[in-house]
Amino acid sequence: MKKITLGGGCFWCTEAVFQRLKGVEHVESGYMGGHIINPTYKDICTGESGHAEIIQITYDPDVISLAQLFEIFWTAHDPTTLNRQGGDKGTQYRSVIFYADNKEKTIAEKSIQEVASKLYSDPIVTQLAELTTYYPGEKYHQNYYNGQQSKPYCHLVISPKVGKLKKSFAHMIKEEYK
């Protein structure tokens, strides 16, 4: 198994998308890239901790490649808006890829050039940063969408992203989510 850490705005949104993919073993919401040790959601929400809301994806590279994960990442959020996704504003919602080594960085750079830049006419503002200390999000943030689909934010913001995934990547969806 391998891991990749991505920030694409609200971690509830990205978690819901990536949980549904064949080859993805686990997705955990958390925080990375800031200067406070053991931040809480309250710390993150101020935008002053420097952390991004991220997901850490554990995946089987024999089933789904890192390049495929990046392709889905580009379609799951808008990588052209700096520190913003929809109504969520602040550095905590930035588009970011935290890479563990030069191989991951190279695959990310190639994906930006060959996939993301073809999907969007505006410049890609996704930050590439070395992996730093990972802090898991609070328990109530984990698996959020799957247990809260009737809540307005989930229905209005997350459900369309999941629907887009199912339409564009139907062949990659786990059976239990079809």
Give me the active site residues, please: 10
Burial of 113 (0-12, 13-18, 19+ CB in 10 A): exposed
Question: To which H or E segment does residue 130 belong?
Answer: strand 127-130
DSSP string, 2-49: EEEEEEES-HHHHHHHHHTBTTEEEEEEEEES-SSSS--HHHHHTS-S
